[in-house]
Structure 1
């Protein structure tokens, strides 16, 4: 009988002694992995397995179910794509999730949630914005006050997530500034300042910027100042190369949306996961980074079923096809799918040396002019980037309306 990962963790936590042994799916069958589940801090070190010989632990349980999620976490850093505090907390306690990512949709949902915890975040954001931008005579620049409130709400949500995960939390700069480098830089600095006021150091935060040329250049400036950035809405090798050359800490390519575009263009109902255009695009980006020694992390997000939604188990096709990539950000629904899938379904598909050897791209240095010339030919990148920015702009405008009502 198979049980979801979280159910197993909850059951094991109640056992004594607290250290529970289980066969490691990512090593030989004679290797056993011990997790100290009594460690409530759930730092990265608590996931580090202790390797011991099976011959010395003949009484260790051999039938404990090992999930695909656990095996994947052994080869790829996992981030949860959610702004729901309870959900993030539940997965963080497994020790398998180290980071968290947010976006304008999550912040908008938090503002409209109705839960007293989120309401407190909203009230605090409004009070903060009034305090720093308004005078006794009122708020001289209402737009500025609303922008401060919006950023403060994102920081309040991020602060809660920082307390749950041991790694980094991504917080997005106003998506409406995606084509304005200087204003994006200013807002990013302000967000980092707000985090510091809350006692959250900048090395726990990634500033998310859209993958426009202007957004990438904002990342170049911020990275030089020690503010690490996540370039999101990446649909193109060109965007990835520009981000790496700007020394962005991390990129978030969207294989699922790349697949959507290709399916629409070709009329193809589905692909083998290893032939999925989105998977191939991410592998190309990763290979370029590894061949030319760029430190930029490749963290794919936004997943689709390669073979089509009607195929059982296809919801995690792209995730399994990219097993071994630096990092992934995965929504709770797909984390659950992985937690009830057997570990034998996970096989490393991406590794640094092999990827570097497979790279056929030159390390061409991009300028604004050459980027623009290449970008004109990248129809998938153009269409999907515009679509992503437009969608997040709608969520941002919803959030602004909610904040106006709160004022």
Structure 2
């Protein structure tokens, strides 16, 4: 019997669920899972998760918080609670994101990461099962460097090109999440192109470039392709270290019977390690990022989008618990 494309893919790549939908995670049983503020906000609006929201609010309130601080702490607790529930369904790790509003503040990012880990510890979750997810700004990368030095593993997200990937590697980051679909969307709009064949897909090519750079320089940081628009994009990166895939695409892959061919392999690259890359300074990083209009625009819009999603979650909590009158000046 022919294996599904999903099962074939699992034989060559670690498949990760890009979702906070507990039912979907239970159905597809990925090794790891990733979350972000948008996914948490969507999951929080599902009726079956009402108890998690109420518990998070009551826990924050019992700790003496009030007003805006109560809401923010409740969001952190809720985010961790989703992570805890996800970890009950998978064998691997869950990525939990630091508030995107802290993306340009290294010290605040470090502090928030440690707060989230402390919350996980209250639920008996071991630190090695958590990846702290941070936007790949220069400040975020430096926060990850400090956290990694303390044994706290990080996933650098909103990554759109080689300069970000190189800086993450130099920081000793555990994992990066280059975004495939958002890159494709940007180029389709900028170049007024309706469709790219998969071998010319800008998002797929960006991840391949990063993959080859990493493997040719014996960089241990894992690469997890993210933000897919189609199963063709997913299969175009078969063999990548990890791929985080939304439930609708996981369902398509499960139904697809095509033969999956490995597109990325480090066998050849590892045999030709170079170790010749000059380190990026902050000035180099900033200049290269600014000269890449796609990467700079998508990084900022991604941060703005995650901030907006958290604000929507804040509004949901305030409305659910009648806090609007209490918080309004």
Question: What are the within-5 Å matches in structure 2 for residues 323-334 of structure 1?
Answer: 323-334=238-249
SS of corresponding position for 2:15: strand
SS of corresponding position for 2:225: coil
**Bigger relative contact order, structure 1 or 2 (CA pairs below 8 A, ≥6 apart):** 2
Q: Which of 167, 171, 175 is the equivalent residue of 1:246? A: 171
1:11 equivalent in structure 2: none
1:164 equivalent in structure 2: 89
> Does the C-alpha gap of structure 1 residues 339 and 358 become closer, same or farther in structure 2, counting only changes over 3 Å?
farther
2:267 equivalent in structure 1: 353
TM-score (normalised: structure 2): 0.93
1:392 CA displacement: 1.4
Instruction: Tell me if the contact between 1:133 and 1:144 (Cα under 8 Å) persists in the aligned partners.
Output: no
User: How many Å separate the matches in 1 of 2:303 and 2:204?
Assistant: 22
Instruction: Tell me if the contact between 2:33 and 2:93 (Cα under 8 Å) persists in the aligned partners.
Output: yes
1:248 CA displacement: 0.9
Instruction: Tell me if the contact between 1:283 and 1:355 (Cα under 8 Å) persists in the aligned partners.
Output: no
TM-score (normalised: structure 1): 0.76
Q: Which of 111, 129, 132 is the equivalent residue of 2:63? A: 132
Instruction: Tell me if the contact between 2:136 and 2:157 (Cα under 8 Å) persists in the aligned partners.
Output: yes
> Does the C-alpha gap of structure 1 residues 212 and 106 become closer, same or farther in structure 2, counting only changes over 3 Å?
same
Aligned length: 321
1:120 equivalent in structure 2: 51
Instruction: Tell me if the contact between 1:80 and 1:100 (Cα under 8 Å) persists in the aligned partners.
Output: yes
Corresponding position: 1:98 with 2:43: no
1:353 CA displacement: 3.0
User: How many Å separate the matches in 2 of 1:374 and 1:360?
Assistant: 22
Corresponding position: 1:389 with 2:273: no
Instruction: Tell me if the contact between 1:286 and 1:355 (Cα under 8 Å) persists in the aligned partners.
Output: no
Corresponding position: 1:374 with 2:311: no
Q: Answer 1 or 2: which has greater helix percent.
A: 2
Deviations 1:294-318 (A, max 9, x none): 11110011112xxxxxxxxxx2111
> Does the C-alpha gap of structure 1 residues 111 and 341 become closer, same or farther in structure 2, counting only changes over 3 Å?
closer
1:268 CA displacement: 2.3
Instruction: Out of 269-278 and 247-256, give the one that drifted further.
Output: 269-278
User: How many Å separate the matches in 2 of 1:382 and 1:332?
Assistant: 28
Corresponding position: 1:292 with 2:238: no
User: How many Å separate the matches in 1 of 2:272 and 2:157?
Assistant: 25
Corresponding position: 1:211 with 2:142: no
User: How many Å separate the matches in 1 of 2:94 and 2:150?
Assistant: 18
Structure 2 portions without partners, runs of 5+:
324-329
1:83 equivalent in structure 2: 20
2:326 equivalent in structure 1: none
Question: What are the within-5 Å matches in structure 2 for residues 306-345 of structure 1?
Answer: 315-344=230-259
1:358 CA displacement: 8.9
SS of corresponding position for 1:100: strand
1:26 equivalent in structure 2: none
1:385 CA displacement: 1.0
Structure 1 portions without partners, runs of 5+:
1-63, 305-314
Larger Rg: 1
User: How many Å separate the matches in 1 of 2:218 and 2:175?
Assistant: 14
User: How many Å separate the matches in 2 of 1:303 and 1:166?
Assistant: 23
SS of corresponding position for 1:299: strand
Instruction: Tell me if the contact between 2:218 and 2:270 (Cα under 8 Å) persists in the aligned partners.
Output: no
User: How many Å separate the matches in 2 of 1:234 and 1:360?
Assistant: 24
Deviations 1:8-58 (A, max 9, x none): xxxxxxxxxxxxxxxxxxxxxxxxxxxxxxxxxxxxxxxxxxxxxxxxxxx
Instruction: Tell me if the contact between 1:236 and 1:380 (Cα under 8 Å) persists in the aligned partners.
Output: no
